[in-house]
């Protein structure tokens, strides 16, 4: 399919098949937008035929709450408006060049849950901490392990990230010190956005239907803070500095052609977790790192299909206790690594706990992140002659604050 927006038809993250949802500001205040080629469509200004109340606030929560029928209607209408030349005169005045806008948080995060569903990541991290024989925790092949994160710390791509302070006890220390993190890291993840609420247990199929769309997610992690704090109740301040998401919610509908199955099970899943169909997606992902003032080096390439559990499985598991889910809940997939060294989605794995430092193309050496480093996640589902792009999830490390005595 082609669009009358010519930049949507070539080498772009945002062809007519994508139509992702974001919030932008061109200087005239934040509004809801849809990306198409090199432009963002000011969607509240066009004749979309839907309830204007859905576009009253600069966030996609109201559209999500309106439910799957509205999601389908909106997407159908946008596709018609942007592909059919007869609508061009009415719509074109409401296209704003992407290069002239700031992209803001596309939705209000209700709560944020982060999972640990990457087989390679769990094995790598477990091997470092417990040895290869005991790498996977006993529950890992049965449960999509997750923990509650901190919604207030979720930020949109481009927001600088301040190196955190925290309690740190190095192996050579007897007692902890309060110091800036020296092992500040990334985690390459995808995340599902819950678009419909639930009250009580839902099946995997119902969970899949509740998902509105997907973004990329970087779960910034202070490994030294985490190592000292995480027993017995899990990561807390190590993961609370910031979590960066990409600015465009790619609709689940745009990803339909890219569905793939989760891998063969090493242990049969309990029935409530078994999938009635393919619920992962073939999405190529990369991580680039640019030291301050230097060009970037791609340090990892992997694919969302490497995950052991899908977002639908994670969401179904999330409801087993009766936990109510709400519109705007954000579910991080867990770090996405692949089988090879170059597929690892964290610096902890890439530098093997700091023991095997990375050398960037510009010559810099890295174990973990340095002040001034910029990390950029990129991702796309690559179709026949087009790609469903996620844009970027980018963040630059600011030095830790100086504390007063």
User: Catalytic residues, which ones?
Assistant: 121
Q: Indicate whether 267 belongs to the interface with its own copies (CB under 8 A).
A: yes
Least gap, CB of 376 to its own copies (angstroms): 21
When binding is defined by CB under 8 A, the residue of 139, 172, 355, 385 that contacts its own copies is: 139
Nearer to its own copies (CB atom), residue 321 or residue 384: 321
Q: Which is nearer to its own copies, 128 or 284 (CB)?
A: 128
**Contact map string, positions 54 to 83, toward its own copies, x by CB under 8 A:** ------------------------------
The residues facing 22 across adjacent strands are 33
Identity of the residue, 102 or 270, whose beta carbon is nearer to its own copies in the bound complex: 270
The candidate with the shortest Cα–Cα distance to 144, out of 326, 276, 332, 15, is 332
- Which is nearer to its own copies, 106 or 144 (by Cβ)? 144
Reduced to 3 states (helix: H, G, I; strand: E, B; else coil), residue 3 is coil
Is residue 328 a contact point for its own copies (CB under 8 A)? no
Nearest to 223 by CA among 335, 104, 69, 385: 335
Yes or no: say if 201 and 322 are a contact pair by the CB < 8 Å rule.
Answer: yes
Which stretch in 28-36, 50-58, 171-179, 292-300 sits in contact with its own copies by CB under 8 A? 171-179
Torsion 148-204-255-46 (CA) sign: negative
Between 230 and 352, name the residue whose CB sits nearer to its own copies. 230
Contact status: 238 vs its own copies (CB under 8 A): yes
CB of 184 to its own copies, least distance (A): 11
Q: What DSSP character marks residue 399?
A: P
The residues facing 251 across adjacent strands are: 213
344/286 Cα distance (integer angstroms): 10
- From 223, 312, 192, select the one nearest 260 (Cα to Cα): 312
Distance CA 159, CA 392 (A): 12
Secondary structure element (H or E) that encloses residue 119, with its range: helix 119-130
How near is the Cβ of 193 to its own copies at its closest, in Å?
A: 15
Q: Which of 52, 131, 171, 322 binds its own copies (CB under 8 A)?
A: 322
222 binds its own copies (CB under 8 A): yes
Both tokens assigned to 25: 């500001």
Among 26, 38, 62, 165, binds its own copies (CB under 8 A): 165
- Dist. CA 396–CA 373, nearest whole Å: 6
Question: In Å, how far are 260, 338, 365 from 285, measured between CA atoms?
Answer: 15, 11, 23
**Tokens 């066009």 found at:** 46
Say whether residue 195 binds its own copies (CB under 8 A): no
Rule CB under 8 A: choose which of 9, 83, 159, 167 binds its own copies.
167
CB closer to its own copies out of 15 and 328: 328
Tell me which of 137, 158, 353, 372 binds its own copies, using CB under 8 A. Answer: 137
Cα Rg, the chain, nearest whole Å: 21
Interface with its own copies (CB under 8 A): 110-111, 116, 137-139, 142-143, 145-153, 162, 164-167, 169, 175-178, 200-201, 222, 225, 228-238, 240-242, 267, 270-272, 317-318, 320-326, 401, 403
């Amino acid at each position: 399919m082609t669009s009358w927006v010519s930049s949507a038809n070539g080498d772009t993250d945002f062809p007519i098949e994508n139509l992702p949802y974001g919030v932008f500001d061109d200087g005239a205040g934040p509004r809801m937008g849809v990306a198409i080629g090199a432009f963002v469509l000011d969607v509240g200004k066009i004749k979309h035929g839907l309830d204007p109340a859905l576009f009253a606030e600069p966030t996609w929560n109201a559209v999500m709450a309106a439910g799957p029928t509205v999601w389908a209607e909106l997407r159908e209408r946008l596709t018609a408006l942007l592909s059919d030349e007869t609508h061009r005169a009415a719509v074109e005045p409401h296209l704003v060049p992407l290069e002239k806008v700031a992209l803001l948080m596309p939705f209000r995060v209700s709560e944020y849950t982060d999972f640990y569903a990457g087989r390679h990541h769990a094995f790598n991290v477990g091997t470092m901490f417990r040895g290869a024989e005991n790498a996977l925790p006993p529950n890992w092949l049965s449960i999509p392990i997750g923990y509650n994160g901190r919604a207030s710390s979720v930020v949109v791509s481009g927001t600088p990230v301040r190196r955190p302070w925290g309690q740190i006890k190095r192996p050579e220390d007897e007692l902890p010190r309060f110091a800036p993190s020296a092992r500040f890291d990334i985690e390459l993840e995808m995340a599902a956005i819950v678009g419909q609420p639930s009250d009580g247990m839902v099946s995997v199929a119902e969970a899949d239907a509740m998902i509105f769309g997907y973004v990329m997610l970087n779960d910034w992690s202070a490994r030294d803070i985490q190592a000292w704090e995480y027993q017995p109740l899990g990561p807390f301040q190590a993961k609370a500095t910031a979590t960066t998401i990409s600015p465009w919610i790619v609709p689940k509908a745009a990803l339909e052609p890219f569905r793939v199955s989760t891998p063969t099970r090493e242990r049969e899943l309990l029935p409530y977790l078994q999938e009635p169909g393919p619920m992962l997606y073939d999405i190529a992902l990369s991580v680039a790192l640019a030291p301050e003032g230097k060009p970037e080096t791609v340090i990892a390439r992997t694919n969302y299909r490497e995950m052991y559990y899908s977002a639908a499985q994670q969401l179904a598991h999330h409801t087993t206790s009766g936990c109510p889910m709400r519109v705007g809940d954000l579910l991080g997939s867990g770090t996405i690594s692949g089988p090879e060294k170059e597929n690892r989605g964290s610096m902890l794995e890439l530098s093997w706990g700091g023991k095997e430092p990375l050398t960037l193309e510009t010559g810099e050496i890295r174990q973990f992140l340095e002040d001034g480093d910029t990390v950029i996640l990129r991702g796309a589902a690559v179709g026949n002659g087009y790609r469903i792009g996620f844009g970027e999830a980018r963040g630059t490390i600011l030095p830790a604050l100086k504390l007063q005595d």
